[in-house]
Amino acid sequence: MNKKQIVFIMNPISGTVSKAGIPHIIEANLDKEKFDYTIRETQYAGHASVIAEEAKDEKADIVVAVGGDGTVNEVARAIVQSDTALAILPCGSGNGLARHLMLPMNIKGAIRIINQCEIHCLDYGTINNIPFFCTCGMGFDAFISMKFAMSGKRGPISYVENVLKEGLKYKPETYEIEDETGTKRYKAFLISCANASQYGNDAYIAPQASMSDGLMDVIIMEPFDVLEAPQISIDMFNKTLNKNSKIKTFKTKKIHIHRDQPGVIHYDGDPLMMGEDIDIELIAKGIKILVNPTADKRMRKPNLIQNAFSEFFNDIHQVREDITRQTRHIQALNKMLQRKLNL
């Protein structure tokens, strides 16, 4: 049996996990009857793409991104539309794609998945021709990605610090979104286009998203007040965000977004400045990825308690909105009566 050629591409400084012991774990756990392997370390930003491209050109069967979502993106975008497959050893701060694929979050477990070597052709997306594999977007999440990158700190605590510090100051923007059904205008806190279900750290921005349906999920988060923010957070971690009254969502293959001015976007959590016009497209079955053959996809769905919890609190929100509308209506009637009676 011919052995498969596998190249591990390791970013020594990404994420929050030390990588010093990983070569020993690979040597001890990789099935060397199936694989011949090499390990390459990245030296600079973008180097993972260069190494992955070289591996693809040398007909490597699999390249393994050892790092976080940024490293995964660098490796994956070099091997789209090729016979070389992507595998992941997750050791970043969010691990959004690895979590969506239900890979083990420990290195030994992730290597066991590689040993099983089950490969599927899955979807990916592009934003102004830049590939993304998990999510891309603009608005608050892109703004926070930029702040997070500027802070130089890694990990969920730093991310939450930025969200809490900047959240109440952020001003929603107006967007024109064009798809096959026409053009609509939205005032939005953020717009996210999801190929996979989550940002990372089990924050599900698109709990219904699939990487094999040929469609991306578009999530429009409308402006909300400080009292509504906790419920949005709860829904995100409970996989019930699509039930929240502040969320509009639909599936499509392609959209064009126009905004009033240039600004930051993100692709797989990496921030980048872009202009007013943005094209986002889903490329079906464009990348080969090693998957977890024993993953229970039902775990991506909310359970009965999570569903009930979400519906209860969103019903309370609806009642509150109805009361507010009725109060405004009564106040308007009172003013009209006062004018009629010259009070």
pLDDT digits (tens, 9 = 90+) for 201-210: 788 888 889 9
Cβ atoms of residues 280 and 253 within 8 Å: no
Give the span between the Cα atoms of 34 and 149, in whole angstroms: 39
Secondary structure of residue 291 in the 3-state scheme = coil
The region of weakest confidence among 22-31, 87-96, 285-294, 316-325 is 316-325
Give the span between the Cα atoms of 72 and 64, in whole angstroms: 8
Q: Which residues of 185-207 are buried (b: 16+ CB within 10 A; e: fewer)?
A: ebebbbbbbbbbbbbbebbbbbb
The per-residue pLDDT for range 55-76, each reduced to its tens digit, is 999 999 999 999 989 899 999 9
Give the span between the Cα atoms of 278 and 128, in whole angstroms: 6
Domain covering 130-283 assigned CATH 2.60.200.40 in the classification: yes
pTM of the full structure = 0.81
* Rg of the chain in Å (alpha carbons): 23
Give the span between the Cα atoms of 211 and 26, in whole angstroms: 28
Considering only the C-alpha atoms of the chain, give the largest distance between any 2 of them, rounded to a whole number of Å: 96
Domain covering 4-117 assigned CATH 3.90.79.10 in the classification: no
Range 153-174 average pLDDT: 61
Give the span between the Cα atoms of 114 and 157, in whole angstroms: 30
Question: Sorting pLDDT into bands at 50, 70 and 90, what band is 262?
Answer: very high
Residue of higher predicted confidence among 148 and 259:
259
Give the span between the Cα atoms of 262 and 96, in whole angstroms: 27
- φ, ψ for residue 326, nearest 5 deg: -65, -40
Question: And the tokens for 270?
Answer: 């990496």
pLDDT of residue 104: 95
Range 73-92 average pLDDT: 96
Pick from 7, 10, 84: nearest CA to 43: 10
**Residue 227: partners with Cβ closer than 8 Å, 6 or more residues away:** none
Residue 199's Cα: distance from chain center in Å? 3
Helix axes 47-57, 69-77, angle to 10 degrees: 40
Using the 8-state DSSP alphabet, how is residue 201 labeled?
Answer: T
pLDDT of residue 322: 52
If you count DSSP H runs as helices and E runs as strands, how many of each does the chain have, helices first?
9, 16
Other Cβ atoms closer than 10 A to 42: 22
pLDDT of residue 296: 74
Give the span between the Cα atoms of 324 and 283, in whole angstroms: 44
Cα separations in angstroms, 194 against 13, 24, 67, 133, 266: 27, 35, 21, 8, 12
Query: How many CA within 13 A on the CB side of residue 340?
Result: 6
pLDDT of residue 170: 76
Helix axes 229-237, 304-340, angle to 10 degrees: 160
Residue 135's Cα: distance from chain center in Å? 3
Let me know the angle formed at the C-alpha of 73 by 131 and 267, rounded to the nearest 5 degrees.
55
